[in-house]
Amino acid sequence: MNPTRTEIIEILFKSKRTIFLILLFNISASAVSIAQPLLFKDLFDSILLGKQIGKAALYIVLLMLIPIVFAALNGVTSYYNNELGNHLSKNLRLRLFSQLLQTRPRNVDRIGRGEVINRITSQVGVLCEIYVVDTIMSVVSNGILLIATLWIMLSMSVELTLVAMISYPVFMYGFKRFRNKTERLDKHYYDILEKGISYLNDLFNNLKAVHMSNGHQAEKKRWSNWNDEAWKVSKQSRVFHHMIINLVADTVISLITGIIYGYSLYLILNGQISPGTLLAFIVILPRLESDRE
């Protein structure tokens, strides 16, 4: 196994308390999050129908508090994530520095002093604080929330959950394939910018020759052609980003919403789910895609 990976795992084993707290607050945030759709369901299916005004007021207060509590728990989780990242990077830097002191100067020179400094400072920070903590722990956090969300959806309606699980990934996959075109347009635009920079560098290097050969008109034409090309691609990219992509995104969301709501109404009319269940799904569904990502 890679020595750095071994040392990171060893440090993580010594940080069990911090990892436990991160998981605890993640699970607590997930529990608070799934309470919201359940409260909506109970509020509209039972409490309002029974005209229980006092209990309804309590539920409304709880529904107002849930986002605040959820944000607070996420804030505490982020704090402990940061603590874990700093602890990892600090210990790994100390260990690497101890190894550096025992390394022969010619080995350091072979790697390069600048590269050694970059690895022990910047790269260690990126590895520990961004990759290990931000990336991996966010996957853990989203995974816990996704499992909790799917569990509560299945407990309310298996059929509606399956419809949501099929329609969301299928339509979103198609949208992401379509959105890849923007990356190609952006790459083309940046290539043209690089082409313009290269042209200007060549022009400045050969400016004396341009003056001597009276090539001003030819250079003006080349520069004008480059500007026309850059303007054309920039316009295409902007139109695609701000008009077509938004239109397609709204269309995809509308299709998903229409399928799920239409099937929900079918289930309600057949007495298989309640209106409160539909409302709970309306609350849950926007989270489903964000949790999956």
* Structure confidence by residue, pLDDT tens digits, 179-209: 666 667 677 777 888 888 887 788 777 777 7
Q: Which residues of 30-62 are buried (b: 16+ CB within 10 A; e: fewer)?
A: bebbbbbbebbbebbbebeeeeeeeebeebeee
State the average pLDDT over residues 268-293. 76
What tokens does 44 get? Answer: 């509209």
Least confident of 51-55, 219-223, 252-256: 252-256
pLDDT at 257: 78
State the average pLDDT over residues 250-256. 75
CA distance 230 to 234: 6
Q: Is 105 exposed, middle or buried (0-12, 13-18, 19+ CB in 10 A)?
A: exposed
pLDDT at 130: 75
Average pLDDT, the chain: 79
CA distance 225 to 229: 6
Q: Is the pLDDT of residue 232 over 70?
A: yes
Q: How many CB atoms within 10 Å of residue 177?
A: 9
Tell me the Cα Rg of the chain.
29
65, 39 in Cβ contact below 8 A? no
CA distance 52 to 238: 53
User: 82, 74, 71: which is closest to 144 by C-alpha?
Assistant: 74
pLDDT at 196: 80
pTM exceeds 0.85:
no
Q: Is the pLDDT of residue 210 over 80?
A: no
State residue 48 phi and psi, 5-degree precision: -65, -35
281, 260 in Cβ contact below 8 A? yes
pLDDT at 243: 65
CA distance 138 to 160: 28
Q: Is the pLDDT of residue 62 over 70?
A: yes
Model confidence at 178, pLDDT cuts 50, 70, 90, reads low
pLDDT at 180: 66
Looking at per-residue pLDDT, the higher value among 185 and 34 belongs to 34
81, 65 in Cβ contact below 8 A? no
Looking at per-residue pLDDT, the higher value among 265 and 109 belongs to 265
What tokens does 85 get? Answer: 């990242």
State the average pLDDT over residues 138-165. 82
